[in-house]
A and B are shown apart, each in its own frame.
Chain A
Amino acid sequence: MDSREIKDQPIFPDNLEEHKAIYNSLQEKLKVIFDSLVRDKINLELQVIESKKFRLAVESASDHIIITDPDGTIIYANRAVEKVTGYTYDEVVGKTPGKLWGGHMPKDFYAKMWETIKVKKETYKGEVNNVRKNGDPYTAEINVSSVSDEDGQLVFFVGIERDITKEKEVNQMKNEFVGLVSHQLRTPLTGIRWFVELLLRNQEGNLLPAQLDFLKQISDSNQRMIGLVNDLLDISHLETGHKFDVVRKNFVFDSLIQEVLRDNIVLITNKNLQIVNEIPKTLLVFADYAKLKQVLQNLVSNATKYTLEKKNIWLSVKTDIEKGLVFTVRDEGIGIPRDQLSRMFEKFFRADNASSQDPNGNGLGLYIARGIVRAHGGDMWVTSEENQGTCFFFSLPIVSAKDQKIDNEVKK
């Protein structure tokens, strides 16, 4: 007999014990339910506190944060949204960013973003040009992620924007300044170069060997300074956002290799280095000759500088379905310390063992080389083992004849 059955039954002295037991058990159950309710209540209160905490954090974050439904309609906006865009909370909720501050980028930008967040369900990161309510344009770094429920069903998107307009302006000014100063520096540097060149000819034959040596030192320092100015100008061009002016044409890659090897012949001969060139002599590439020469020059001169005597340097190429042509410059040099490998392409960074080998380097070469390769649509990366050697890779996308034509027409 359970509690339901005994409800309507009269209580007799002989089943009193039975009733007592049932009531006791009911009381126990109620107590458990009550305890669990109390616990739930406390948990709920904690959750409320917790969600208040999160809400407060999101609310007062300095970055602009919005939550939208799967169609992009805004369901939440934090305070920074108004601060950045000028639109109030009530003005934004229920609308899409495209109808407010967004919608000023090319169509394919948004297409790519939607594909990343909605189809691939990955986080989209990028830079975007928007317009504030008052009409002022601004640049933001955006980060949009999709949030799904347990069943993988898309519930909403979280968009975080950081206004980087000021940052970009300052950077632009800095680069323009560097550019300006560098151009100005070139004229006096040219003066020193030319007059030292005239003196070094020692036409009258009346300069002492020591004096000629001093002139050589001046000339070397001057060349270094010119190199530094050229590097700074390259960086200022790379960083001002006007893309490196890449003028592409078809050329035989081997002619570029031969030129670079000639430029490095002194060190190659002095160190008795063996250059193993496995790149086909007939390989044609579609790229900016002068700029690509700068890339190869940098890699080959690094390889010769940091490789000990009588060792090998390999030049090779292979094709990759995704990357196109992948070139490698591999040496048996001093290598790069493992903990410094990831910093090799940082501006002004030099590995510890490189500084001891060549104290005159400025740490800009690889940064620029990678910038040039990227301006061609490729990339550059490195693998290395300390005291074993280093291998630099760079890729160049293969450009179809049709696209080469388009590229040339755009340049005109």
Chain B
Amino acid sequence: MAKKKILIVEDDTTLAKALAYEFQQQDFEVASAMDGIEGLQLAESMLPDLILCDIAMPKMDGLTMLSKLREASWGKGIAVIMLTNFSDEQKVMEALSQQAFDYLVKSDWDLSQIVAKVKERLGV
């Protein structure tokens, strides 16, 4: 079976590195972007199965990226999980209204739990 493709959009290099390492270990095909603009470009070229997307990022934040993704014909169906370190901000509500489906507060989750959540979402 082909590897599932995951795109990590996270501007904090430490966190991005941990996530990429973990998903590679778990046999995913992983690509990483540092901001929303890069994230959209990569998403269009690789068409990932799922995007893990940070909210606060330079150049283009995660929510703007998400709405642009949903506007594009190729991006409508891609599963997205928003990563945040804000807990009950308006922003999270906005993300939910755009059907990002899931969001999680990074500091409350282990890597293994994030992997479990992604797998559940992808049905693998």
Contact = CB atoms under 8 A, between A and B. Distances in A.
Interface of A: 183, 186-191, 193-195, 197-198, 226, 229-230, 233, 237, 244-245
Contacts of B14: 188, 191, 195
Contacts of A194: 15, 18-19, 22, 110-111
A235 to B, nearest CB: 12
Nearest to B92: A245
Contact of A226 (B21, B108, B111): B108
Contacts of B105: 186
B98 interface: no
A198 B107 contact: no
Contacts of A183: 85-86
A229 B107 contact: yes
Given A183-B86, A198-B111, 17 more contacts: A183-B85, A186-B85, A187-B12, A190-B15, A191-B12, A191-B14, A191-B18, A193-B107, A195-B14, A197-B112, A198-B18, A226-B107, A230-B87, A230-B108, A237-B87, A244-B88, A245-B88
B12 to A, nearest CB: 6
User: Per DSSP, are chain B's interface residues mostly helix, strand or loop, or mixed?
Assistant: helix
B106 interface: yes
Given A187-B12, A191-B15, A191-B18, A237 B88 contact: yes
A230 B105 CA distance: 10
Pick the 3 closest A-B CB pairs, nearest first: A194-B18, A186-B85, A191-B14
30 contacts: A183-B86, A186-B85, A186-B105, A186-B106, A187-B12, A187-B15, A187-B106, A187-B107, A188-B14, A189-B107, A190-B15, A191-B14, A194-B15, A194-B18, A194-B22, A194-B110, A194-B111, A197-B110, A197-B111, A198-B18, A198-B21, A198-B22, A198-B111, A226-B107, A229-B107, A230-B107, A230-B108, A233-B87, A237-B87, A245-B88
A195 B108 contact: no
A187 B22 contact: no
Interface of B: 12, 14-15, 18-19, 21-22, 85-88, 105-108, 110-112
A191 to B, nearest CB: 4
Contacts of A189: 107
A194 to B, nearest CB: 4
User: Per DSSP, are chain A's interface residues mostly helix, strand or loop, or mixed?
Assistant: helix
Contact of B110 (A193, A229, A244): A193
A226 B106 CA distance: 11
A392 B90 CA distance: 33
Contacts of A190: 15, 85, 106-107
Contacts of A187: 12, 15, 85, 106-107
A233 B85 CA distance: 11
A63 to B, nearest CB: 36
A229 B112 CA distance: 22
Contacts of B87: 230, 233, 237
A202 to B, nearest CB: 14
A255 B124 CA distance: 26
B32 to A, nearest CB: 15
A190 B22 CA distance: 14
B61 to A, nearest CB: 14
Contacts of A197: 110-112
A244 B87 CA distance: 11
A124 B15 CA distance: 53
A280 to B, nearest CB: 31
B109 to A, nearest CB: 8
A76 B11 CA distance: 63
Nearest to B88: A245
A237 B22 CA distance: 33
Contacts of B86: 183
Nearest to B14: A191
Contacts of A233: 87
A240 B63 CA distance: 25
Contacts of A245: 88
A194 B10 CA distance: 15
Nearest to A189: B107
A210 B27 CA distance: 31
Contacts of B107: 186-187, 189-190, 193, 226, 229-230
A195 B105 CA distance: 17
A190 B21 CA distance: 15
A301 to B, nearest CB: 16
Contacts of A237: 87-88
Chain B CB count within 10 A is highest, among A183, A190, A244, for: A190
A310 to B, nearest CB: 33
A244 B22 CA distance: 34
A370 B71 CA distance: 43
